[in-house]
Amino acid sequence: MKKNMHIETKVIHLGGDADPVTGSIMPAIHQTSTYVQKSPGKHQGYEYTRSHNPTRTRLEECLAGLENAKYCLTTASGMSCITLIIQSIPKGRKILCGDDVYGGTNRLLSKVFGDHYETNFIDTTDLKAVEKGLKEDRPYLLWLETPTNPMLKISDIKKISKLCKKYKALLVVDNTFMSPIFQRPMDLGADIVVHSLTKYINGHSDVVGGAMMMNSKKIYDELWFLQNSIGPSQSPFDSWLVLRGVKTLAIRMKAHEENAIKVAKFLSKHKSVEKVIYPGLKNHPHHSLAKKQMSGFGGMISFYIKGGLKESRKFLQKIKVFKLAESLGGVESLANHPAIMTHASVPLKMRKELGISDNLVRLSVGIENIEDILSDLDNAL
């Protein structure tokens, strides 16, 4: 029955049946490390919290349902989710990855796993480059962010998934920027969907977490084995906080988008702004694909301020409603300087090629009153 519900209802009810013992409408926080067994190996499905935990199970049921997937695993950060997926790649196999991904993802693939797996970074908006990479490298998986962080490039998930199937590569889509409210990659052919729960899904900047969703039992079993063996499982309390935060995901995403559209239009006309990048603007190079693939344009905007580092610094020191901080997707507005902050670990040459320059600023538009947001930006600019 729940499968047919609308997503606005699912975020509130999935994983949330009343407690059969007490009737408690909200899930309990099973803050326990272990579980009593009746006889060795005879238990109620829970042995040890690194392996399973009832509060985490509820979160995983909810998140799997939101992405239209059968299975979900949640971890202590987005990066630990990505780590587990990379750990599952057989040694010697290659990775194909979008060129514009979160700086931490680039760092993990280049500097942590670089000796074990060769990663080729390509522009995934170029389908010819994708097919060439798949054909030549025969990678184990293709890692896709769309929209990308921070340049907000949009790649065609459906077409890329067809190419991945042709060349027998797994398609992993990091859906952090859109959340399942605006984009559902499983429906477009992805094999694994990844989220930093730290962002929109939790939405309140008080949890670090990650999730991965999949339909294949084989992939789920492999990744659960690694999660249980390596140990970055999400904690019961943080699982509960995300279960609480996700209930408002649908209305939050709509509010983020409503404000972001107004901010993008405002910045586009501002004399101190050189260029605005927002998939909802008609001048975005992938606007029509964004319109087709996503049901909303999201709350992330990148823009070039007129000038250089001096002007960016001045702006970022002057903002008041926006806070200068890493991260995104919380109810409060945040501003970030990718070149010095979130993407500092991306090699300078690559940053230059992508356009991550000293006058690039990334905004995570919050859900405060739009007049306060716009006057803050106007004042700082």
Chain residues in the site for ligand P1T (CB under 6 A): 77-79, 102, 104-105, 145, 149, 174, 176, 196, 198, 208, 210, 326-328, 336, 342
Exposure of 267 in the CB half-sphere (CA atoms within 13 A): 28
CA distance 371 to 368: 9
Active site residue 313: no
Q: Which of 10, 58, 153, 199 is catalytic?
A: 199
User: Nearest-CB residue to ligand P1T?
Assistant: 78
Instruction: Using the minimum distance from each CB to ligand P1T, give the nearer residue, 16 or 195.
Output: 195
Asked, as a colleague might, if the bond just before 150 is cis with ω within 30 of 0, I would say yes
From the candidates 174, 191, 238, 376, which is the catalytic residue?
174
Run of H or E residues at 171:
strand 170-174
CB 127, CB 159: distance < 8 Å? yes
Residues 6+ apart with CB under 8 A from 226: 84, 87, 88
Q: How far is the CB of 207 from ligand P1T (least distance, A)?
A: 9
Q: How far is the CB of 325 from ligand P1T (least distance, A)?
A: 8
CB of 199 to ligand P1T, least distance (A): 6
Nearer residue to ligand P1T within complex by CB, 55 or 176:
176
Residue 199 known to be catalytic: yes
Instruction: Please report, for residues 38, 97, 118, 297, the alpha-carbon distance to residue 86 in angstroms, rounded to integers and kept in the order given.
Output: 37, 12, 11, 29
Distance CA 32, CA 236 (A): 8
Give the H/E segment covering residue 314. helix 309-318
Smallest gap, in angstroms, from Cβ of residue 267 to ligand P1T?
19
The DSSP letter of residue 204 is S
Closer by beta carbon to ligand P1T, 16 or else 316: 316
| For ligand P1T, the closer CB: 145 or 358 | 145
Residue with tokens 């097919």: 131
Task: Provide, rounded to whole angstroms, the least separation between the CB of residue 20 and ligand P1T.
Answer: 33
Dist. CA 141–CA 127, nearest whole Å: 16
DSSP string, 28-84: P----SB---SBTTBSSS-SBTTT--HHHHHHHHHHHHHTT-SEEEEESSHHHHHHH
Catalytic residue list contains 107: no
Q: Is 206 a catalytic residue?
A: no
| Active-site hit among 35, 46, 50, 323 | 50
Give whichever of 16 and 173 is closer to ligand P1T, judged by the CB atom. Answer: 173
> Please, what is the minimum distance in Å from the beta carbon of residue 138 to ligand P1T?
25
By C-beta, is 219 or 344 nearer to ligand P1T? 344
| Candidates 10, 99, 100, 102; catalytic one | 102
Known catalytic residues are 50, 102, 174, 199
